Amino acid sequence: MSNSLTENDPQHFDLAVVGSGILGLAHAYAAVKRGLKVAVFERTGTPLGASVRNFGMGLVTGQPPGIMLDLARESRALWLHLAARAHFSAREAGTLLFARSEAEHDVLLEFMTVRARQYDYRASLLEGDKLNALYNGRFSHHRSALHGTEDLQLYSREAMPALVAYLHSQGVHFRFNTLVHGTAGGRLSTTAGEFRAERVVVCSGHDYLTLFADRLQPMNLKQCRLQMLRLKTEEAVPLTHAVLTGLSCTHYGAFSDLPTARAVHAEIEATAPLLNKHGIHLLVSPTPYQELIVGDSHHYGTDSPPFNSEEVDELLIGLVEHTLASRVQVIERWQGVYGSKGPGPFSALAIDDHTSVVLMHTGIGMSVGLGLGERVVKALLEGDSLPTPTAQPAPATALA
C-alpha cells in the first residue's frame, strides 16, 4: 500500500518513473500492482519512441541462455496477463525462421540439437512435407524453418496506448508533456513544477544528456537508427506467424555464437555484402489489419540522422518479396531509434539512495522489458542488488 507520507500529497509519490516507453511502463505496472502510488513523467504527449516504432515482437526463441532468456519468458507471461486486461492483441502463433541455404539450415540444426535441448527452448524444425504444408506451400522454396512457439506478436502502436490507459485505470498518475530536467535525493524538477518520490527510476531510452550525463558519458553509449516499413502483399497472404530468415542467426544471441553461424556470416559477406554494410536482417510481423511491419537495418552513432536510404528500403523489399513469394506495396516508412552499444544488453544503475537509471542497450525492450521492470522494482522494495546481465554460456557441443 502507498505510505502515509505520500497518499494525501498530490506532488509526492512512492515511485516516480521518468519515461513512458515499455521499460518505464514495466516499472509503473510492477509498482502499482503492489499498491504503491506511482507517477510516470513523459516529455511528449504520448509514447513516441522505440516502443511504438518497433515490430511488436515478444521474442523468446532468439534470446541467449541466461538472464535474457529468463527475462523474455517472464515478460511473455506478463504480456499475456496484461493483454487480457488492457484489451490489446497478443498473438501466440509464434515465429517462423526460414533457412534459405544449407549454411542457415546447419545453424538451425545445431540450435535444435544442442541449445534447444539444453535450455528447453520451445521450438521445432520443419523440413520436407512439414515445411511444404505451411500456408499451402508458399514457403517451399526455403530449405527449412524453425518454429518458435513461445514468441508473441504485439501491435505496438495499439498495445502501448492501451497499456497506458490500463495503468491509468489502476491508479498510475501520468504527467505527459512534462520534462524532468533534474532529479536527486527523491526530488524531481520538471516543467510542471517540483515533485517528490520515495524512489525514482529513470528509463530515458537513448537520451543520454538530459539526466545523469556525467554517469552515462563514460559508458560510451550509442544510438541505433533503423529503417522500417509497413506493407501490404499484392496477393492475399493470411500470415499469422511472425517471420524471420537465417540472417537473424547472425544477430540474435540464441544462434550467433554457435560454430555453424560463422559460415552464415561468410555466406552473407560473399553473396550480399550490402546486407552487412547496413546491418540488415529481415523481420516481418503481421498486424491485426492484414498488413506487415517489416525491417530492419542497423546504423550506429552518437546521433541519428533523419535521412533514410532508398537502397536500404529496396534491400528490405527484395528480401520480404523473396521470403514471402509475393510482391508488396509500401504503405508507410519511418525510422526507429533505440539505445545501443552498452556494456551489456541492459544497465540498472543506482545513482543515490532514492534514484536508479534503467536502460536497454539492445532493441529487445518489448521482449524483456516487462520482466526487467518486475525484477528492478522487487529489488528496490526488498533492498536487494539491482539485476545485472550475466555472461552467456557457451554451447556445450558443436556440430561444425
Q: Is residue 199's pLDDT more than 80?
A: yes
Residues with Cβ < 8 Å from 366, sequence gap 6 or more? 22, 51, 54, 55, 56, 57, 58, 154, 156
pLDDT at 8: 78
Read off the pLDDT band of 399 (50, 70, 90): very low
Domains annotated on the chain, with CATH: 1-85+153-219+342-400 (3.50.50.60), 95-149+222-340 (3.30.9.10)
pLDDT at 398: 41
pLDDT in tens, 308-325: 999 999 999 999 999 999
pLDDT in tens, 44-67: 999 999 999 999 999 999 999 999
pLDDT in tens, 127-183: 999 999 999 999 999 999 999 999 999 999 999 999 999 999 999 999 999 999 999
Residue with cell 504527467: 175
Which residue from 380, 358, 362, 373 is spatially nearest to 82, judged by alpha carbons?
373
**Gap between the Cα atoms of 398 and 400, Å rounded:** 6
